[in-house]
Structure 1
């Protein structure tokens, strides 16, 4: 790691401003500004436009140069030459617009030019805008809305029938009972809050890994996102963010249903679901390997080879495509949902760049299975308990490895190729290895400090809700941010309270999704497979 740190610190940068005093920073125009949205649209024929524009100058400008040089440190700074303003056209642009609403672009540019010239001696160039108030804002119901609405109604009816049947006829034997009882809210609630326990001691060892699943809830939430979600709110950023994402989901929903969405550029639909696609692709690959490698001996040769190949792929991709050493969460790329970030799209979300972790999981799973059958292995783990200090150091070391990526944020350009390649070759494999060793320690009860935290009964319900919460959380955050009609003055306390409230709201909404969709549909699959197995036996 010391070699990496030295390599990361050797390159200078020119023409870049890394920091500004408060006085200098206040000279720059604010990147965001919002007129009063609600009062604007209350006016007769009120029009409110959200405008994206850039600052320009026909002659040398010391202020613009400072803004450009400060923006070059794009990894930690916003682009201070690009702006997004909410403008009440009927209040601010009357003198420029007159009675011609079709001349909005010119009117907005004239108003912004006048404002920026008077305050900053700069001109502006409008690049895009959306407006509320030009029509009634209603969205017509189409076929996709009807299909998703009917599916939701059918699911609710099944839940109603299952719940009533369980309440009035709990002991009766009626046709299709097990299928309908899968939708019993009463039974599913009991399963949600039941203690985490099982009769199989091997499964009980894995209590620390509760809640890993992929379920139909994904399709339901995606369907709502592409249809009815468009009607859930309004605000200065509703059209530019929420409607844009909803329309993208309407175009690309099939990629998500086929688990191909992690191979899509310029898509804002369910950006966080790349993990579901990559996970499914790796699951299919690993399943094929386990089926084709029919003997234990072949598998134990193939899996280490797969792991080595998986370690080599990320540095090779980094070198060939000239990518960052790690995924950079910059202010600008975050606001654009990383849709044009090559490191995110080529290195972070692809299945083959995550192959090493999957292969290591299979290797460790095979080892754990064999060790469980070896009675002497339990005693060996007890014997090695004098190494618990080393084991305890793995978690802080894992945190340090993750934080080591901050050095890639220090410069506004790509570090030398060998630095980036070495980082992707060393750090991610070490992270997965340390995580795997920690998990094996949980399984064999190697120590009690970490394990007692991860096996705390309080995690049982959140772990069962984790997948539904994962699916929902982005939509909730998006709804919160895009329905705001005023700017937020951010503080550490505000960030913390917003973060906690978002988590609480997400898990509260995950409860009905789990009870009404995720658990019932997963149980139907189990009932079907069990009945099929019984028919084979008889």
Structure 2
């Protein structure tokens, strides 16, 4: 036992190290002919160990006690003296738990109408037709999912029913030209803006009462132009990969390709020319802008993706292929689900007028994006990731079972044919 080596006057860490080394050396030397050495100091604690109270402990305890007493005093003052009136000592009312709880639950007033609308109109979201119904707050930002599903069905039927490449080109061109007139016609005859004008009232209403959002922005047929461009892009990439395109002779156009991103930014900034102070654009001009903006932006995205796929340059592509984007991409759908609710809470919590500047707009945008990603992480960890893995496991097990049944059937057929031959 190591206590046999312990001397009565052993108090320091160095003495303890020597005692433990003697004990260990005895056992290790007898069994393995090895010597040990302890490099770190050894500290032992007894049951009667005393930890003195330091001044900082007293300061923290006093601060916490003061906060607790202020909350208690403010709550009693609010409930018994002030009651429902708003007069009184505002400094003491700041610590009223009753009033702070009311502020915390104010968002229920905003969420309440959305819950009622979802009970009434939730079936529209399940059928992916909610983008053709107006004045409902039920997951209003999922109009994109509905429009995407509708266009996906349209594209699938087009490719399945039309097998000839020449006929596909004719039909896709006809659909694209037709789609160029849908948004302008809505804008002209319904006197809409060529894009959504963001205002606090529009955000608080979830965009559901904005005519431009309802008639020109969220409909499936008004977004068909960019979908046709994307569908055509997929077919073009497939054909060029089949032909084994030699991209080296096209790399001289990389400087034009680099201009796609600046052109997107310029195109976005040009939209502001339509909303200068004291200028009311003509409905025809708004209709032309509504018909050209999305197809032009979609065309730039078309060229950008085409260059990325065939590795036309080495500036944009390595940036987008950075592995650091992987985590952000995984939670992107959860961000899509929660971001509008966070924007609504942020806007509804503002009780004073703010001076809008470019700095404030950028700060608000990046703050909302960062907070959306932080809130999406637990949603992905607890909901999206487990469910996706369960679905993947169920579907993969069904595929393996079907493949095994097919192999068994094939073996039975081959054995029966062998018997017939014999």
Query: 1: distance between equivalents of 2:288 and 2:374?
Result: 40
User: 2:331, 2:376 within 8 Å by CA — same for their partners in 1?
Assistant: no
CA distance in 2, matches of 1:403, 1:452: 27
Unaligned runs of 5+ in 1: 1-38, 47-87, 95-132, 138-232
| Conserved? CA contact 1:347–1:353, under 8 Å | yes
Deviation at 1:487, TM superposition (A): 6.6
Where do 5+ consecutive residues of structure 2 fail to align? 1-73, 89-97, 410-422
Residue of structure 2 aligned with 1:466, choices 332, 346, 349:
332
Structure 2 match to 1:402: 268
Structure 1 equivalent of residue 134 of structure 2: 265
- SS in structure 2 opposite 1:280? helix
Distance 1:385 1:346, change over 3 A: same
Shift of 1:296: 2.6
Shift of the 447–236 alpha-carbon distance from structure 1 to 2, 3 Å rule, reads same
Distance (Å, rounded) in 1 between the aligned partners of 2:306 and 2:327: 23
Q: Which residue of 200, 203, 222 maps to 1:331?
A: 200
CA contact (8 A) 2:125 2:146 kept: yes
Supply the distance in 2 between the matched residues of 1:475 and 1:405 (Cα, whole angstroms): 27
Cα RMSD (Å) of the superposition? 3.4
Matched, 1:316 2:185: yes
Question: Relative to 1, partners in 2 of residues 1:453 and 1:90: Cα closer, same or farther, differing over 3 Å?
Answer: same
Contact 1:236–1:485 (8 Å) recurs in 2:
no
The alpha-carbon distance between structure 1 residues 348 and 498, as it changes in their structure 2 partners (threshold 3 A), is closer
Displacement after TM superposition at 1:382 (Å): 1.5
The Cα of 1:480 is off from its aligned counterpart by: 6.4
Q: C-alpha separation between the residues in 2 aligned to 1:436 and 1:42?
A: 65
Separation in structure 2 between the aligned mates of residue 527 and residue 433 of structure 1, nearest angstrom:
41
What secondary structure does 2:85 align onto? helix
Q: Deviations over 1:386-408 (max 9, x none)?
A: 11111000111011112222233
- Is 1:518–2:388 an aligned residue pair? yes
Which protein has the bigger strand share?
1
Query: What is the CA deviation profile of residues 356-411 of structure 1, one whole-angstrom value per residue up to 9, with x for unaligned ones?
Result: 11111111111100000112x2x2x2112111111000111011112222233325
Aligned residues, how many?
321
CA distance 1:499–1:439, shift in 2 (3 Å) = closer
**Aligned 8 A contact 1:364 1:436 in 2:** yes
Shift of 1:455: 1.0
Shift of 1:494: 6.2
Please say if residues 408 and 415 of structure 1, whose CA atoms lie closer than 8 Å, have aligned partners that are also in contact: yes
**Superposition pairs for residues 119-518 of structure 1, below 5 Å?**
235=104, 237-375=106-244, 377=245, 379=246, 381-411=247-277, 415-478=281-344, 492=360, 495=364, 496-497=366-367, 499-518=369-388
Highest Rg: 1 or 2? Answer: 2
Cα distance in 2, alignment partners of residues 451 and 247 from structure 1: 46
Q: Which residue of 1 aligns with 2:398?
A: 528
- In structure 2, the residue matched to 1:83 is none
Is this contact kept in 2: 1:477–1:502, CA < 8 A? no
Provide the TM-score with structure 1 as the length reference: 0.54
Q: 2:12 maps to what in 1?
A: none
Contact 1:311 1:425 in 2 (8 A): yes
Q: CA deviation at 1:521?
A: 2.2
More displaced 10-residue stretch of structure 1: 297-306 or 445-454:
297-306
CA offsets per residue over residues 155-189 of structure 1, 9 Å max, x none? xxxxxxxxxxxxxxxxxxxxxxxxxxxxxxxxxxx
Q: 1:532 to 1:466 in 2, by over 3 A?
A: farther
Pick 1 or 2: higher relative contact order, CA cutoff 8 A, min separation 6: 1
Partners of 1:318 and 1:40 lie apart in 2 by 55
**Rounded Cα–Cα distance in structure 2 between residues aligned with 1:92 and 1:287:** 62
User: Could you tell me how far apart the structure 2 residues matched to 1:243 and 1:41 are?
Assistant: 30
Distance 1:383 1:294 in 2: 32
* Structure with the higher helix share, 1 or 2: 2
